[in-house]
Amino acid sequence: MAVDLDREFEIKLNLRETDFAHLLNHAGQTELALSPASNNMLPTTYFDTGDLALHRNGVTLRIRKTGNGVSKLTQTVKVQTGVTQGVSNPIEIEDVVESKETDLERISDERVRKQVTELVSDQSLNPMVNCDVDRTSVLLGFEDAVAELSLDRATVSAGGLSEVFLEAELELKSGRPSDLLPLAEAIFNGVPLRLASLNKAARGFALLEGLGPEGLPDPVRATQPKLTDDMNVAQAFTLICGSAISQILPNWFGLLEQDDPEFAHQLRVGIRRLRTALRMFRPYLDNADLRALASELREVGRIVGDLRDADVLYEDIALSAIQGSGRQPENEPLVNMLKSRCTLMREAVRADIGSARWNGLLLRLMLLQHGWSGGEFASAASQTTARQFARKTISKFWKTVTKRAHNLENLDEAERHQLRKDLKKLRYAMEFLQSLLKQKAWRRFRKELKRLQVQFGYLNDVHMAKSLPAMIGNGHDLSSDTAMLAGFIDGWHEAGASDVLDELDWYWQRLERRAGFWKK
């Protein structure tokens, strides 16, 4: 579907000084350029009411001076503003005005004019935020798509505070959002992507409200999509993948900036959820690009997963056993060794996932939420409702689990580990589809599923604890007392393993009794 010309679609990136300079030097020289690069100063003023009625309702109203030589004033209204996972997609209405004062009657779209007028009511509009933009722009083209690359050095001022920042905007002028992919890959080649989370107006209003510059994020946990019975498979695909991506991208960049181990944890969960989602839709959408995407996700998941395992070994396995023994963790060389190991691994992971080699993956994740799919859906996708899809998908995942769980008490360690992974996939799939399920039956099933997963999680911890004694003897000059402590931690967790193994079949039978409700 072609871009809606009343709705702006652009990729927004934060830039470091070196990357900004690199793009300035090369943007106009690319073979994709349709015209030479140009430079403009764009003084901009954002207006709002005293109680910020527009800002609080996702509306911006600005007047910007544009043009070299013969200048003009443009009044722009944007509705449904905000930057989500590096993408800005607001409704945008531009109109030429004669003065630096706002004129709501000049808003050419009647619906937008009515919305803004109602929000303003009888209040006056006043200049609230100023933003001076030094912009270098170039028009780019590839096949049927045209986009404008803008490199902005901007100073935003409000409430007596100011902030200087660098950003790149790649705005689609004609074509489909997915058409930005080859353009973005070519232009940002070698420049590590840093997705913006605020637009210029939002930065200014943050200053005005005393919130300061763009802050550090918190870890983001999974949220589930709201599906309806009448949706088809293609619509469900976009929402389900978007649910996973909204967990992946914030935690990806949070991991680059902060030491909280929860970022690595939630990033790995998000990656697993998206890989499960792609597998769910393979009967309806399967192509080389999505297979490559899944392969890259698996690789990143392995990198981040190794860090997460190190964090768990340090925090959940070693510390819990040491504290349970009555010893003081801060006095144990083993604790310092494991903590240093986590620190070194975190830095290595940051160097890897913060590099430009993952640009293609990040761009595909951004655009997957806006129509990119690597190919066409099978014809059955438009004829299959979301509810039909849910029944078929859950039944398929459940069949895999039941086949793996057969003769559960005799599974070896590797087979139990695979069953643990299959149970996770089942849970992720059902959580994606939960809005289509009978809620009471789903809650009962989920409760038993979580209980079983806790048992498998403990067995996995026991397995990880076994690596400690060997780790002590692998180049670490620690005392025999520390080696004994590692053995104690192993034994501490091993002691409960036999009880868990004895109870696994009981937990499985409770889950099995709750199954099948999704078919009714």
Convert the pLDDT of each residue in 385-440 to its tens digit: 999 999 999 999 999 999 999 989 889 889 999 999 999 999 999 999 999 999 99
| For residue 68, pLDDT beyond 70 | no
Look at residues 365, 384, 403 and tell me which one is the last residue of a structural domain. 384
Residue at token pair 């981040």: 304
- Identify whether 329 is part of a domain: yes
Spell out the residues 6+ positions from residue 162 whose beta carbon is closer than 8 angstroms to its own. Answer: 155, 156, 207
Count, residues in the chain: 520
Position 260 in a domain: yes
Q: What is the DSSP letter of 126?
A: E
Residues 460, 513: one domain? yes
Question: Which of 384, 399, 433 is at the close of a domain?
Answer: 384
User: What CA–CA distance (Å, rounded) separates 241 from 244?
Assistant: 5
Sheet with 91-97, edge to edge strand ranges: 83-84, 87-88, 10-14, 161-174, 145-158, 126-142, 38-48, 59-66, 72-79, 91-97
Region 144-169 average pLDDT? 95
Q: Which position has the token pair 């690789």?
A: 299
The pLDDT tens digits of the residues spanning 245-302 come to: 999 999 999 999 999 999 999 999 999 999 999 999 999 999 999 999 999 999 999 9
Of 157, 175, 208, the last residue of a domain is: 208
**Angle at the Cα of 340 from the Cα atoms of 335 and 345, rounded to 5 degrees:** 130
What tokens were used for 487? 């053995």
Assign 371 a pLDDT band (cuts: 50, 70, 90).
confident
Q: Are residues 242 and 377 in the same domain?
A: yes
Q: How far apart, in whole angstroms, are the C-alpha atoms of residue 71 and residue 63?
A: 13
Do the domain assignments include residue 5? no
Distance CA 323, CA 45 (A): 58
Residue 341 lies in a domain: yes
Q: What is the pLDDT of residues 387-396, one digit of tens each?
A: 999 999 999 9
324 Rama class: left (phi>0) / alpha (psi -120 to 50) / beta? alpha
Pair 24, 151: CB distance under 8 Å: yes
Does residue 204 share a domain with residue 82? Answer: yes
85 lies in the same domain as 170: yes
The verdict on residue 484 lying in a domain is yes
Are 307 and 394 part of one and the same domain? no
* Amino acid occupying residue 8: E
What domain range includes position 136? 10-208
Q: What is the pLDDT of residue 5?
A: 41
* Contact status, residue 390 vs residue 518, Cβ threshold 8 Å: yes
Mean pLDDT of the chain: 91
Judge if 376 and 433 occupy the same domain. Answer: no
Neighbours of 240 (CB within 10 A): 27
Same domain for 337 and 352, yes or no, is yes
Higher pLDDT, residue 216 or 150: 150
233-257 helix and 386-405 helix, angle to the nearest 10 degrees: 60
What pLDDT does 203 receive? 94
Question: Does 216 map to a domain?
Answer: no
Same domain, 392 and 513: yes
Q: Compute the CA torsion angle 177, 241, 167, 81 (nearest 10 deg).
A: 80
Label residue 4 by pLDDT band (50, 70, 90).
very low
Over residues 185-232, the pLDDT tens digits come to 999 999 999 999 999 999 999 999 987 655 678 999 999 999 999 999
CB atoms within 10 A of CB 98: 9
Number of domains in the chain: 3
H or E element that contains 39: strand 38-48
Provide the β-strand partners of residue 59: 79
* CATH at residue 325: 1.40.20.10
Q: Which residues contact 130 (CB under 8 A, 6 or more apart)?
A: 43, 44, 45, 46, 156, 157, 158, 204
Top-confidence residue, 409 or 102: 102
Nearest-CA neighbor of 281 among 366, 365, 371, 377? 377
pLDDT of residue 212: 60
pLDDT at residue 332 in the model:
81
| Token pair in block for residue 79 | 């509705």
| 122: pLDDT strictly greater than 70 | yes
Residue 513, judged by CB atoms within 10 A of its CB (0-12, 13-18, 19+), counts as exposed
Closest CA to 429 of 227, 294, 266: 227
176 shares its domain with 316: no
Tell me what the mean pLDDT of segment 313-339 comes to: 83
pLDDT at 2 over 50: no
Asked if residue 242 belongs to a domain, the reply is yes
Which amino acid is present at 497?
A
Q: Which two tokens stand for residue 109?
A: 């779209």
Helices (H), 95-232: 110-120, 180-187, 200-208
Name the residue among 40, 68, 69, 65 with its Cα closest to residue 136.
Answer: 40
Q: How far apart are CA 399 and CA 445, in angstroms?
A: 16
> Is 474 part of a structural domain of the chain?
yes
**Does 497 score more than 50 pLDDT?**
yes
Residues 370 and 392 in one domain: no
Q: Which residues contact 218 (CB under 8 A, 6 or more apart)?
A: 254
Q: Dihedral sign, CA of 36, 37, 42, 46? A: positive
φ, ψ for residue 301, nearest 5 deg: -60, -35
Closest CA relative to residue 9, chosen from 107, 91, 73, 93? 91
Query: Quick one: pLDDT band at residue 1, thresholds 50, 70, 90?
Result: very low
Tell me the two tokens of residue 188.
């940002």
**CA–CA gap between residue 64 and residue 97 (Å, rounded):** 10
For residue 206, CA distances in Å to 46, 126, 202, 203, 294 come to 13, 17, 6, 5, 37
**Verdict on whether the full-model pTM lies above 0.85:** yes
What local confidence, expressed as pLDDT, does residue 474 receive? 54
3 has a pLDDT exceeding 60: no
Residue 92 dihedral angles phi and psi, to the nearest 5°: -130, 125
Same domain, 54 and 200: yes
Both 369 and 407 in a single domain?
no
Per-residue pLDDT tens digits for 453-494: 999 998 888 888 888 777 665 555 556 677 777 788 878 777
pLDDT at 323 over 90: no
Range with the lowest mean pLDDT among 62-76, 120-134, 448-462? 62-76
pLDDT at 70 over 90: no
